[in-house]
Structure 1
């Protein structure tokens, strides 16, 4: 934070995935003072996610803070920590519900927003932002517009400075997020949206399936689609 205490500005949760990358690009296009925050919570994809987050932060000339939250892994039974997330046959119905249950990290986004709010308040910043979207909000309660609104009220009361929450992508599905990213010129080639940490994105986990479907629907160039294993 470099000791800056000027007013305004935003802490952006940056995982290196599609939603947070487009969120960062959107906020950067507004000329806001930004600090990106990456969380190491013991996820299997940590090396690739952190690499992506660093590349995106560098692209937008935004400082990146990394916070370690080992207790999330210690308390979690999520497949995100085991490194073997399911390969759902579909993004609909019971397949999707089973996948969501298996990769759920208890209260993760609630914890991350609280940490981001502490960072924001300590640096004189007024807002934290995260990449909630309508598509994943239907499967994960902490990715919904309702959660974002509740978190905004909680953090307003829980910080002396009245830090609030922004979720500008909350009404968009993944296709809409990808389309916005392409319009903004977000370097989607830098994104890592896979639950694994291989050479290429696996193309089979829920995150990959959503990302690839969104890219195809948005008319993304072939080189982006070539990043998935076949």
Structure 2
């Protein structure tokens, strides 16, 4: 079994990577540079993960994406939110729309599908999860099911999207990552790309809450 892992070095993709690493005979990680604010940190950490585990790593530059709208690419301001609002669907739906990059996972998975077919990989692994799926439609099981259906008719080798975390919350992902030895100390969740996580963006807040709920310190903050 061979897999391509979409590795942004975020918490979810880092744990999904370790799931694939343990499951498969061969793994290749793909990281995208689409002009996102944290791209330098994401690429740096993804490289460190791949080096640590001795797996192939491909960085794909998408310069045309840098002009697309959205707070992640710096075209708009990052939304501000408090920790008490993380479960307020009305608020988080608006913040999700603010950081939305048009058709991002459609583009990423299409590229991964081409790589999988060309190099005969069986699985395309992503870190989609239940908490993200609440506000991001391209993280849902329905989206994955539809894309897998397309891969059956749109490719000759029929690679399959594998989503080991699809039913998990961030807290459950932290617990799973700790259990299987995922390199959480090399996972970067912050929307910004500064030397340390900002601790205030929605992604940082969700990560902070998850580690607190899991009853453990964040190994990234201990390492820095």
Instruction: Structure 1: give runs of 5+ residues left out of the alignment.
Output: 1-7
Shift of 1:162: 1.1
Tell me what 2:156 maps to: 160
Is 1:50 equivalent to 2:43 in the alignment? yes
Is 1:92 equivalent to 2:78 in the alignment? no
Instruction: Structure 2: give runs of 5+ residues left out of the alignment.
Output: none
Shift of 1:72: 2.1
After superposition, the Cα gap between the structure-2 partners of 1:189 and 1:144, relative to the gap in structure 1 and judged at 3 Å, is same
Tell me what 1:38 maps to: 31
Q: How many residues align?
A: 220
Q: Check conservation: 2:2, 2:24, Cα contact below 8 A.
A: no
Is 1:77 equivalent to 2:53 in the alignment? no
Q: Check conservation: 1:10, 1:126, Cα contact below 8 A.
A: yes
Is 1:211 equivalent to 2:207 in the alignment? yes
Mapping for residues 172-211 of structure 1, pairs under 5 Å: 172-211=168-207
Tell me what 2:106 maps to: 110
Please list every run of at least 4 consecutive aligned residues from structure 1 whose deviation after the TM superposition is greater than 4 angstroms. Answer: 222-228
Is 1:67 equivalent to 2:63 in the alignment? no
Q: Secondary structure at the match of 1:86?
A: coil
Once residues 219 and 111 of structure 2 are traced to their aligned partners in structure 1, the CA distance between those partners, rounded to angstroms, is 36
TM-score normalised by L of structure 2: 0.93
Shift of 1:222: 5.7
List per-residue Cα deviations over 1:17-48 (Å, max 9, x = no partner): 00110011111112431110001111011000
Once residues 71 and 155 of structure 1 are traced to their aligned partners in structure 2, the CA distance between those partners, rounded to angstroms, is 25
Tell me what 2:7 maps to: 14
Once residues 158 and 210 of structure 1 are traced to their aligned partners in structure 2, the CA distance between those partners, rounded to angstroms, is 36
Once residues 136 and 35 of structure 1 are traced to their aligned partners in structure 2, the CA distance between those partners, rounded to angstroms, is 24
Aligned residues: CA RMSD: 1.7
TM-score normalised by L of structure 1: 0.90
